């Protein structure tokens, strides 16, 4: 079983917090900023006289033993970090705490301490968790993984616009240098270095609006993507995909979607549900030919009482070739209509973009 986690990793100032927060709001699910936890440790130990030059793992271990970190939901459902009963809030974002959190995050005792706390959040149901190692170490089995980047200049520009996060008199150049140094520290440390998980979807947000990045991520969460190379059997004598074969493509795409959502037809049948096709609507825009590499994209566009509609779009490169809406009826072992089971509704979230 995959963990019900949307992991968003990436380097400093790549827009992770803004994006992760927006995703959580759109999906009405909790958002956990793990960078805030490293900053909270920095805030706690700084009070005990720790700075970047005198870090000692044994002393830190003792300090961690007297640390209680938790998240408290406010009235709007937003989670705020609490450190030994206090809410540090904006104090976690000062340049001093930012600078101390990076070397602290390279200390194994700190990472082990936070790893356990971070994994506990899985019991909240679907969550968005943001950091450096969520998709690689904390939840390597997360259902959704994204790796957010942006050019160094753009990240420096964004950081400079965030009041209180840079020292007085900071310039684009000095901020870019500070970010580059943190990138180097975060990605070259031996434990849980910042790196893209092999199965994470990379998103470069340079030049994109926040809403564009959010929509791109939401599209990947709701949709199943796969590729398919057109064979001879799919085409007519002219080498053009025979129109009725798109129905098979739709079927192939939605079968894979259900399988990847860990609810293959076989499992549904074991539970006593069958999903026969009851209606198909198709709109053709352009034709596909022998040997074209196609992209299939499917998502659940509607769930009713006893039926669901699955949309499939087929692309060749950027060009959309066809769009299909397939209605599946839900029937029981006696062939009578029955309610769409909750497992099915939960497996494929409906997200309007």
Pick left, alpha or beta for residue 325 (phi over 0 → left; psi -120 to 50 → alpha; otherwise beta). Answer: beta
**CB nearer to ligand DC: pick between 148 and 261:** 148
Calpha distance 326→250 (Å, rounded): 8
Smallest gap from Cβ 61 to ligand DC, in A, equals 18
Smallest gap from Cβ 310 to ligand DC, in A, equals 36
Smallest gap from Cβ 1 to ligand DC, in A, equals 23
Place of tokens 């240098």: 177
Burial class (CB in 10 A: 0-12, 13-18, 19+), 123: exposed
Calpha distance 124→236 (Å, rounded): 52
**CB nearer to ligand DC: pick between 158 and 182:** 182
**CB nearer to ligand DC: pick between 94 and 105:** 105
Smallest gap from Cβ 104 to ligand DC, in A, equals 8
**CB nearer to ligand DC: pick between 186 and 292:** 186
Helix axes 108-120, 57-65, angle to 10 degrees: 30
Angle in degrees, CA 350, 147, 81, rounded to 5 = 80
- Is residue 79 helix, strand or coil? strand
**CB nearer to ligand DC: pick between 35 and 324:** 35
Helix axes 34-46, 108-120, angle to 10 degrees: 130
Buried b / exposed e over 138-152, threshold 16 CB at 10 Å, is bbeebbbbbbbbbeb
**CB nearer to ligand DC: pick between 30 and 131:** 131
User: Which of 2, 84, 98, 77 minimizes the C-alpha distance to 32?
Assistant: 77
Smallest gap from Cβ 208 to ligand DC, in A, equals 19
Smallest gap from Cβ 105 to ligand DC, in A, equals 3
Q: Give residues in contact with ligand DC (CB under 6 A).
A: 12, 34-35, 38-39, 101-102, 105, 131-133, 182, 186
């Amino acid at each position: 079983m995959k963990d019900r986690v949307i992991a968003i990793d990436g380097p400093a100032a790549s827009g992770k917090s803004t994006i992760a927060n927006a995703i959580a709001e759109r999906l009405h699910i909790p958002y956990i900023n793990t960078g805030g936890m490293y900053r909270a440790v920095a805030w706690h130990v700084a009070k005990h006289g720790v700075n970047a030059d005198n870090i000692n793992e044994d002393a830190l271990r003792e300090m961690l033993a007297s640390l209680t970190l938790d998240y408290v939901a406010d009235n709007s459902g937003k989670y705020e970090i609490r450190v030994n009963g206090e809410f540090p809030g904006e104090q976690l974002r000062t340049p001093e705490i930012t600078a101390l959190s990076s070397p602290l995050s390279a200390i194994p005792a700190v990472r082990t301490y936070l790893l356990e706390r971070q994994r506990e959040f899985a019991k909240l149901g679907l969550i968005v968790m943001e950091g450096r190692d969520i998709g690689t170490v904390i939840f390597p089995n997360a259902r959704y993984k994204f790796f957010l980047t942006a050019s160094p200049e753009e990240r420096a520009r964004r950081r400079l616009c965030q009041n209180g996060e840079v020292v007085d008199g900071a310039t684009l150049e000095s901020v870019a240098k500070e970010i580059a140094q943190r990138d180097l520290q975060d990605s070259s440390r031996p434990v849980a270095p910042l790196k893209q998980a092999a199965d994470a979807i990379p998103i470069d947000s340079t030049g994109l609006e926040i809403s564009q990045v959010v929509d791109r991520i939401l599209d990947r969460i709701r949709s199943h993507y796969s590729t398919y190379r057109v064979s001879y059997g799919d085409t007519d004598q002219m080498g053009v995909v025979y129109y009725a074969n798109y129905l098979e493509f739709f079927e192939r795409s939605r079968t894979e979607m259900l399988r990847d959502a860990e609810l293959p037809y076989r499992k549904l049948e074991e539970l006593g549900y069958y999903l026969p096709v009851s209606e198909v609507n198709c709109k053709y825009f352009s034709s596909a030919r022998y040997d074209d590499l196609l992209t299939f994209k499917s998502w659940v566009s509607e769930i009713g009482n006893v039926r669901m509609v699955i949309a499939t779009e087929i692309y060749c490169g950027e060009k959309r070739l066809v769009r299909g809406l397939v209605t599946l009826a839900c029937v029981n072992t006696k062939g009578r209509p029955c309610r769409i089971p909750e497992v099915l509704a939960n497996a494929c979230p409906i997200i309007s973009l």
